[in-house]
Amino acid sequence: MKRHTVRELQDMIADQSVSSDEVYQLYLNRIKAMNDSINAFISIESDETSSGTEENDSEIKGVPYALKDIFCSEGDKTTCGSKMLSNFVSPYDATVVKNLRKKGTIILGKTNMDEFAMGSSNETSFYGNVLNPWDTERTPGGSSGGSAAAVAAGMAPIALGTDTGGSIRQPAALTGITGLKPTYGRCSRYGMIAFASSLDQAGILSISAEDAAIFLEHMAGYDHKDSTSSMEEVPKYTEFLNDNLSGKVVGLPKEFFDGSLDSKYQGLVSDSIHEYEKMGIKFKDISLPNIKYSVPTYYVVAPAECSSNLARYDGVRFGHRSSDDSDLDAFYKKTRKEGFGQEVKRRIITGTYVLSAGYYDAYYLKAQKVRQLINQDFLNAFKEVDVIMGPTTQQSAFKLGEKVDDPVSMYMNDIYTISSNLSGVPAISHPIGFVDDLPFGMQVIAPHFMEHDLLNIVHKYQMVTDWHLQIPGICRELDR
């Protein structure tokens, strides 16, 4: 089975060697054939069309994509992987969906995810675990694991996800694809159901950096409906994909290379660094001294914001509703007890605690101060280097159930990715090889609004390597 890139689909549709309807049907057939084995999709939009396009000459007209079930799309169920929203039908489009719809793209369906984006292994969804197409006994990563698995397995050419602490980059690394988290504010959050408002960002899971560049320039931009949306001009990212890399300086944080990474993964990182050196890139050792506080800082800030955002789910206006209406207080409690899963409840309780009287200064306020120190570390580093590189994760995909009963161990999966969310800088993960037949990824981080540098660097790497083109065995079995 061949996985088609967005660029290939563009060319095929443009030269009329295939119609957009035929492309759409191809992916619907793949979803129907494979979804029972992977559980990547919660719902399939089998009656979608591209007739809503306002730009008949759009370069992505007719290109289908998968949508994480955290984005609202008019007339479709938007569940956030939760029982709480299992009956919610959105009355409007998220801005990124609206932007892509105008260009004639087609939604294939809504992808499975950790409940309300809270998780690192896609094991907290009300709709069951997503399985990694490279090994169905292992996690695809989370919380955008459904989108990652769909792209990796060839069930979608590209997918949207969200990244709050690594939820695009980590699953991209574990499934052998490319995952881009743009600068905070680069893409509108309107219509993207909130987990932690100061951290959440819409992004892309794709086969290649080129595909991510194509989609980003169409979905990004200022939105007056989102007060955190940036007015920074959106460049045409594809025009930067062939910029010369000679003379670029890349920082290697000593905190990412402190000996904690297993030698078998360190070897892949070293090999990819040597490949980049052939392109004329220079490497420099740097330090991000406060990055060691990223995980504890995140797990104060994110639960605090989640406890506030999820207070709206009370069964009164929309979503799951308890049948116990003996009194209002009991109704609220029963609705939330029935509607939320264990991990969501854990984070709500943690967040409520750190925001409560007597603990706000000791926890939440202190975490925000440390967050600023982490941001300053990045600002200082980018005075010396153009981008920063390091492993995306500490290991390749782990087995389902391996960490589900150990929340602290699970939280440490995002140790390399969380800092980018705390500081709001863009970051991308791309595959650099395999260990024990499982993919492993490298992360590249850039200054705010320098996505074009990230995309160019990774695109150049993917022009001389083929790790991103490797196909899971489950896809080859489809042809038999």
Q: Which of 50, 58, 68, 460 is catalytic?
A: 68
CA distance 34 to 255: 40
Q: Are 400 and 138 in contact (CB under 8 A)?
A: yes
Q: Which of 90, 167, 208, 423 is catalytic?
A: 167
Backbone phi, then psi, for 322, in 5-degree steps? -70, 150
CA dihedral 74, 80, 82, 83 (to 10 degrees): -10
* Helices 342-355 and 294-309: angle between axes, nearest 10 degrees: 100
**Of how many residues is the chain composed?**
480
Angle at 111 between CA 110 and CA 114, to 5 degrees: 125
**476, exposed or middle or buried, with CB in 10 Å at 0-12, 13-18, 19+?**
exposed
Strand pairing class (387-391; 438-445): antiparallel
CA distance 320 to 343: 18
Active site annotation includes 68: yes
Active site annotation includes 254: no
List all residues 6 or more positions away from 77 whose beta carbon is below 8 Å from its beta carbon: 42, 43, 69, 86, 87, 88, 89, 90, 110
Backbone phi, then psi, for 187, in 5-degree steps? -115, 140
Active site annotation includes 143: yes
Backbone phi, then psi, for 137, in 5-degree steps? -95, 0
CA dihedral 54, 57, 59, 64 (to 10 degrees): 50
3-state secondary structure at position 144: coil
Own/partner long-range contacts of 310-313 (Cβ < 8 Å, ≥24 apart): 310/116, 310/340, 310/344, 310/348, 313/84, 313/85, 313/339, 313/340
Q: Which of 73, 143, 208, 429 is catalytic?
A: 143
Catalytic residues: 68, 143, 167
